[in-house]
Chains A and B, each alone.
Chain A
Amino acid sequence: MANNLNIEVAPLSRVEGHGDLILDVKNKKIEKLIFRIPESPRFFEAMLVGRKYDEPSHITSRICGICSVAHTCASIKATEKALDVKPSDQTIKLRKLIYHHENVQSNVLHVYFLAAPDFFGVGSVIPLAETHREIVNIALRTKKMANDMVRIIGGRAVHPIRTVVGGFTKLPTEEEMIKMKEMLKLCYTDLEKSLEVLKTLDIPDFKRETEYISISDPVDYALYNGKIKSTDGWEIDDQNYLDKINEKVVQHSTAKHCWASRDAFMVGALARFNNNHDKLTDNAKKYAEELGLKAPCYNTFMNNIAQFVEIVHSVDDSIRLIDEILEEGLDEDKAMAEIKPKAGKGVGVVEAPRGLLIHDYTYNDKGRVEKANLIIPTGMNYANIEKDMHALVPSIIGKSEDEIRLACEMLIRAYDPCVSCSTHFLKVKLINR
């Protein structure tokens, strides 16, 4: 039993980029709890200033190898809004299609490679390849499928190059569309097998209600487009995000903390599920039900399950989109919309795999960026991560130090945090006092 604890996990293993957790407990009371991110998020904003309208999407796609389609699309949407560019319906459908598969790429990586080792008690994906080879193979097959989808549509498996302001520089062929549909159909056996395995996981029983924010659409389970919606009952146009989303500088992190109706909120798969669960495909709803995921869900650890349910939805909805595109016929004349540089301001809001992602650009009359503001989902989650830790730690204070440390790491990992920082170090330090 731990009366006094001083835990520093620096950096957290299996978190994209790196972050620190500092936890100081005296006489079973938390004296200090900080989730600290040593990143420099403002670098890219400064870098965009002066760039021509066709550059920001390529530059920001390099912020992150896991969220490159999300940054590309948020950037393109912001520019198209500012320049009053109207992409065709065909373009929107193809963007939604590529978008699904970055979500699949990322969710597969997180559910199977980064979170599953905790639940199977094996430490990392390397021993998992020995103890649960089939799970690793399923993950690899599904990720390969999603990579191929992104490559066929975007021209590359990461950092797509065909997805540009106005549309696509090159369209997939009809044969490629048919091939993609066949690839998608092959996923179902693996999804069924995964379902049976995930049902056996012992998800920690943790509950803390917070505000859940995502985009939302009357028809789609929104990933690419929608209004910004909160479980606290408000919904706003994405151009007006500043009416609700507030940022503040905190001393212990270079990333800002965000709040809306309360002092913290959560974004990501669980927030999307809580706001938009009724827009999932019937098949994905069935998976959610079998895995005990019901809205509203206040257990952060269930974010992993929501990510898996989204994989099922993305596979289902991609087949629907391909059928629609094929039925309408791919039309080269609709590949690119007309672009005329002009002064203007535009906001692009999408759901990155980790949650709401906002790009806000102001252009001058030459079509060059004058000002840029980027708000990343992990930044929005920081405050909520700390609130969750404050709720979790007292409930497990009677456990051993190792168990407490693991539980804290698992909770942070459940957010699938990404700090847009591609450095990795191999050591995880635990310092006890």
Chain B
Amino acid sequence: MTHPNKNDSSSSGYVKTDVRIIGFGNKYRSDDGIGIRVVEELEKLDFFKNIEIIDGGTSGTDLIFLIKGCGKLIIIDAIDAGQNTGDVVNIKVDDIEEFIKKDYKSFSLHDLNLADILKLIKALKIDTDISIIGVKPKSIDFGDKLSQEIEKKIPEIISIIKKEINI
């Protein structure tokens, strides 16, 4: 798949139907549910109409199928990439090896972990523009609510997603 010209400063070159947003996580493991909570918020916003938004739950391998037919994929997940608790990171898929070296931990995916899935996607030579937006959780204990510190990061995550889409 050929990527649109991403050097164009005024626009990503994508149209909304090229973009797919997937939230991963377990909404009954406190902050691990951040990806699902963000997806629920996006579904309420007019800006995201015509963009495919998916509640990916905790089924990791399925990411491989969800990439098909999409130009730009944005993943929302609970991620420890060495940042402080509550800090949001935006990782490009090409940088994933670097983050693994930095003791990156993806908390949510249930079968193979997110880093392995992304490595498998590379090994299978599936070429898609992928961004992983994650927040470091405060708690991943059983519970159906986000920590306050993480809940208040939702607007920041949505703002990063909008910037990433840049349509």
Q: Which residues of A contact B (CB under 8 A)?
A: 14, 16-17, 40, 43-44, 47, 59, 62-66, 68, 109, 113-114, 124-127, 129-130, 136, 140, 143-144, 147, 156-159, 421-426
The answer to whether A65 and B123 touch across the interface, beta carbons within 8 angstroms, is: no
Task: Kindly state whether residue B52 has any CB partner on chain A within 8 Å.
Answer: no
Known: A125-B120, A143-B61. 5 other contacts (CB 8 A): A43-B28, A44-B142, A65-B111, A66-B58, A426-B104
Q: For A424, list chain B residues within 8 Å (CB).
A: 105-110, 113
Task: Kindly state whether residue B43 has any CB partner on chain A within 8 Å.
Answer: no
Bound-state Cα–Cα, A14 to B104, Å: 17
Q: Evaluate whether A65 and B120 lie within 8 angstroms (CB atoms) in the complex, with A424-B113, A426-B100 already known.
A: no
Task: Kindly state whether residue B92 has any CB partner on chain A within 8 Å.
Answer: no
B30 nearest CB across to chain A (Å): 11
Bound-state Cα–Cα, A143 to B61, Å: 9
Interface residue SS majority, chain B: loop
B: interface residue count bin: 35 or more
Q: For A68, list chain B residues within 8 Å (CB).
A: 57, 59
Bound-state Cα–Cα, A143 to B141, Å: 30
Q: For A140, list chain B residues within 8 Å (CB).
A: 64-65
The one of B64, B105, B111 that contacts A425, using a Cβ cutoff of 8 Å? B105
The answer to whether A158 and B142 touch across the interface, beta carbons within 8 angstroms, is: no
The answer to whether B120 and A47 touch across the interface, beta carbons within 8 angstroms, is: no
A310 nearest CB across to chain B (Å): 18
The answer to whether A125 and B116 touch across the interface, beta carbons within 8 angstroms, is: yes
The answer to whether B28 and A62 touch across the interface, beta carbons within 8 angstroms, is: yes
Q: For A143, list chain B residues within 8 Å (CB).
A: 61-62, 65
The one of B27, B105, B111, B123 that contacts A62, using a Cβ cutoff of 8 Å? B27
A352 nearest CB across to chain B (Å): 14
Q: In this complex, what residue of B is CB-closest to A425? A: B105
A132 nearest CB across to chain B (Å): 11
Sort A-B residue pairs by CB-CB distance and give the 8 closest, nearest first. A65-B58, A43-B142, A65-B59, A129-B123, A424-B113, A65-B110, A158-B59, A422-B26
Task: Kindly state whether residue B93 has any CB partner on chain A within 8 Å.
Answer: no
Bound-state Cα–Cα, A131 to B97, Å: 21
Residue of B25, B28, B144 most packed against chain A (CB within 10 A): B28
The answer to whether A422 and B109 touch across the interface, beta carbons within 8 angstroms, is: yes
Q: For A109, list chain B residues within 8 Å (CB).
A: 61, 111
The one of B32, B103, B124 that contacts A422, using a Cβ cutoff of 8 Å? B32
Q: For B55, list chain A residues within 8 Å (CB).
A: 156, 159
Q: In this complex, what residue of A is CB-closest to B113? A: A424
* Complex A-B: 19 CB contacts under 8 Å: A14-B112, A43-B143, A62-B57, A65-B26, A65-B60, A65-B111, A66-B58, A66-B59, A68-B59, A114-B112, A125-B112, A129-B124, A143-B61, A147-B62, A422-B26, A422-B108, A423-B29, A423-B140, A424-B107
Task: Kindly state whether residue B49 has any CB partner on chain A within 8 Å.
Answer: no
A100 nearest CB across to chain B (Å): 17
Q: Which residues of B contact A (CB under 8 A)?
A: 25-29, 32, 55-62, 64-65, 100, 103-113, 115-116, 119-120, 123-124, 140-144
Q: For B60, list chain A residues within 8 Å (CB).
A: 65
Residue of B107, B108, B112, B140 most packed against chain A (CB within 10 A): B112
The one of A125, A156, A423 that contacts B32, using a Cβ cutoff of 8 Å? A423
Bound-state Cα–Cα, A59 to B57, Å: 12
Q: For A426, list chain B residues within 8 Å (CB).
A: 100, 103-105, 113, 115
Bound-state Cα–Cα, A124 to B124, Å: 14
Residue of A62, A130, A144, A156 most packed against chain B (CB within 10 A): A62
Q: For B58, list chain A residues within 8 Å (CB).
A: 62, 64-66, 158, 422
Q: For B59, list chain A residues within 8 Å (CB).
A: 65-66, 68, 157-158
The answer to whether B111 and A130 touch across the interface, beta carbons within 8 angstroms, is: no
Q: Evaluate whether A158 and B113 lie within 8 angstroms (CB atoms) in the complex, with A126-B120, A423-B107 already known.
A: no
B150 nearest CB across to chain A (Å): 16
Q: For A159, list chain B residues within 8 Å (CB).
A: 55, 57
The one of A16, A113, A130, A147 that contacts B110, using a Cβ cutoff of 8 Å? A16
B96 nearest CB across to chain A (Å): 12
Bound-state Cα–Cα, A188 to B125, Å: 26
Q: For A44, list chain B residues within 8 Å (CB).
A: 28, 142
Bound-state Cα–Cα, A40 to B110, Å: 16
B74 nearest CB across to chain A (Å): 19
Q: For A421, list chain B residues within 8 Å (CB).
A: 29
Bound-state Cα–Cα, A397 to B27, Å: 44
Q: In this complex, what residue of B is CB-closest to A424? A: B113
The answer to whether A40 and B141 touch across the interface, beta carbons within 8 angstroms, is: yes
Bound-state Cα–Cα, A209 to B31, Å: 43
Bound-state Cα–Cα, A143 to B104, Å: 28
Q: Evaluate whether A422 and B29 lie within 8 angstroms (CB atoms) in the complex, with A65-B57, A126-B123 already known.
A: yes
Q: For B64, list chain A residues within 8 Å (CB).
A: 140
Bound-state Cα–Cα, A330 to B61, Å: 33
Q: Evaluate whether A16 and B27 lie within 8 angstroms (CB atoms) in the complex, with A126-B116, A423-B140 already known.
A: no
Bound-state Cα–Cα, A64 to B59, Å: 8
Q: For B61, list chain A residues within 8 Å (CB).
A: 109, 113, 143
B158 nearest CB across to chain A (Å): 23
Q: For A65, list chain B residues within 8 Å (CB).
A: 26, 57-60, 110-111
A309 nearest CB across to chain B (Å): 21
Bound-state Cα–Cα, A48 to B148, Å: 24
